[in-house]
Amino acid sequence: MAKIMAKIRDRSGFTLVEMMVVVLIIGILAAVAIPILRGKTEASKWSEAAATAGTIRTTVRAEFVEEPTKVAAWTNQAVTGVMLDLGFLAGDLTGRYFDDSNYTIASVDANGNATITVTAPAGLTGSGQLDSVNGWVYTP
């Protein structure tokens, strides 16, 4: 019995080779996972832009019902220039990653459907566009 207890005491813990294998496996998993998660982070930031662009598009369509000629002239108009006409106050379109200066009304068709273009703020890549035909289009 004393021999068995001595063997158990001498064998406690992991060997250096076992620890190196574990560290190697963790390193490989991290090298694969980090780029995948980074892409998902960018896409999640752009979901904020899609939601706000949808709000702007809905508001433009509602305003078009009231004043179609005025709204039709908003082609290539920055949202900051028509915020009061749309009923937005300063800060209403400000999110965590995007603010009102990132949105542009690219066009308004004969039915009042607007195409909203979103430009990336500093530190974010890609661009996005919301229209009635294609829905939300994100270009990395």
Using CA atoms, how far apart are residues 56 and 129, in angstroms rounded to an integer? Answer: 12
Question: pTM value?
Answer: 0.69
* Residue 97 CB partners (closer than 8 Å, separation 6+): 45, 48, 49, 121, 124
Which pLDDT score is estimated for 124? 78
Residue 68, pLDDT above cutoff 80: yes
Which pLDDT score is estimated for 60? 92
Which pLDDT score is estimated for 120? 83
Angle at 37 between CA 33 and CA 42, to 5 degrees: 155
Two tokens at 92? 């209403």
In this prediction, residues 56-74 reach a mean pLDDT of 91
What is the residue extent of each domain of the chain? 2-139
- 3-class SS at 36? helix
Which pLDDT score is estimated for 23? 95
pLDDT digits (tens, 9 = 90+) for 25-55: 999 998 888 887 776 777 788 888 889 999 9
pLDDT digits (tens, 9 = 90+) for 77-116: 999 999 999 999 988 999 999 998 999 999 898 888 889 9
